[in-house]
Structure 1
Amino acid sequence: MTSEQITAAIGALEVALASGELTIEYSGRRVTYRSTTELVAALDYFRRAQLGVPASGPAPASADRGTYAAFERD
């Protein structure tokens, strides 16, 4: 998918989520989700794709925004 298609999908999913609809249309495609949970999962998928993060699994270090503590034994 192109970045424009991903952006269009995110916009359509956000509108559908806000309005309670389960059917979206973007870039000439029409998709009907079975539940709000499925729609939210699709939104998460496209947001991750937009950031270049793999669709599943842990995010790469470049996408990490957290802070971690390290403990060592002396």
Structure 2
Amino acid sequence: MPAPDYAVEIAALEAAAASGELRVESDGDSVTYRNTSDLLKMLDYFRTKASVVSVTPPSLATFAVFCGD
């Protein structure tokens, strides 16, 4: 499963914050925030998620245990 791409959500939230709008549309969904503070908290949330995804590489390691009898 590929890592989620939060760029669309981040761009929509940034545009709304810049314009002072509380209603955000992204990928066919619409959310109206109660206030600018809530909108900015969600923006921080998505930025944090995006940074974790970009920093954390997928695990491709295989481990084996050998016992010598």
Structures share fold, TM-score greater than 0.5: yes
Cα distance in 2, alignment partners of residues 9 and 48 from structure 1:
12
**5+ long unaligned stretches in structure 2:** 56-69
Deviations 1:8-51 (A, max 9, x none): 11000000000000000011110110000000000000000101
Cα distance in 1, alignment partners of residues 4 and 52 from structure 2:
12
**5+ long unaligned stretches in structure 1:** 54-61, 63-74
**Greater RCO, 1 or 2 (C-alpha within 8 Å, sep 6+):** 2
- TM-score scaled by structure 2? 0.69
Aligned length: 52
Q: Which has the larger radius of gyration?
A: 2
Task: Give the aligned CA root-mean-square deviation in angstroms.
Answer: 1.8
The percentage of aligned residue pairs carrying the same residue is 46
- Which 4+ stretches in 1 moved above 2 angstroms? none
